[in-house]
Amino acid sequence: MSLRLGDEAPNFQAKTTIGDIDFYNYIDGSWAVLYSHPSDYTPVCTTELGRTAQLKGEFEKRNVKVLALSVDSVADHLDWIKDINETQNTTVDFPIIADEDKKVAELYDMIHPNALATATVRSVFVIGPDKKIKLTLTYPASTGRNFNEILRVIDSLQLTADYSVATPADWKDGEDVIVVPAIKTEDIAGKFPKGFKEIKPYLRTTPQPNK
């Protein structure tokens, strides 16, 4: 059965490029991005892992730990990292999970037989500090992921976790946000001192609270 939003992310133990880890222990207290690749030594994956490494500071300032996964071995991962560092002008130092027995891939339903019978599709899971799944994305093997979008979603999720707001279509960090319907209009001023705009009784906006 596939995992859904709000489900608890399954724990697992795995061999990785930084050593053996227990997933829960590794991400304890942090947000996490767990994402999979069809296989090592593939061109799109090379750019994705490189881009993730380049964005290390962006993930760190959001308290996000990133883990990648494919069904290849640690030895293959470590050898491939040399190519990634060379071609993408970066340093990959986050863990890449070696899921040779497909245990993690099966836990997270990362293998879609109609797409790739023996390898993982491009799955993305954003997991909160409460170990609950906050976002799932699945890309085809031919399409590289948009990591700016993944960061944007994390910003939105963290705002929702810390304040009673949602984010509108195409929202970017620093723009106005939406006050959730559960808050009565008469209570908004007390919760959002920057003020608010009532466009419709059900559509109220306020400046981003943490800016």
DSSP-derived 3-state class of residue 118:
coil
pLDDT band at 191, cuts 50/70/90? very high
Instruction: Give Cα separations from 91 to 56, 88, 164, 166 (angstroms).
Output: 10, 9, 38, 35
Q: What is the pLDDT of residue 119?
A: 63
The enclosing H or E element of 125 equals strand 122-127
pLDDT reading at 211 higher than 60? yes
Ordered by where they begin, the domains of the chain are 13-145 (3.40.30.10), 163-206 (3.30.1020.10)
- Quick check: 208 and 177 in contact, CB under 8 A? yes
CA 126/CA 115 separation, integer angstroms: 22
Convert the pLDDT of each residue in 10-59 to its tens digit: 999 999 999 999 999 999 999 999 999 988 999 999 999 999 999 999 99
pLDDT reading at 171 higher than 70? yes
Convert the pLDDT of each residue in 94-152 to its tens digit: 999 999 999 998 899 887 665 555 566 689 999 999 999 999 999 888 899 999 999 99
CA 182/CA 200 separation, integer angstroms: 14
pTM over 0.85: yes
Q: Which of 194, 198, 197 is nearest to 209 (CA)?
A: 194
Task: Give the residue numbers annotated as catalytic, written as ranges.
Answer: 45
Question: In whole angstroms, how large is the CA radius of gyration of the chain?
Answer: 19
Q: What is the pLDDT of residue 111?
A: 76
For the chain, the maximum distance between any two Cα atoms, rounded to a whole number of angstroms, is 60
CA 117 from centroid of its chain's CA atoms: 24
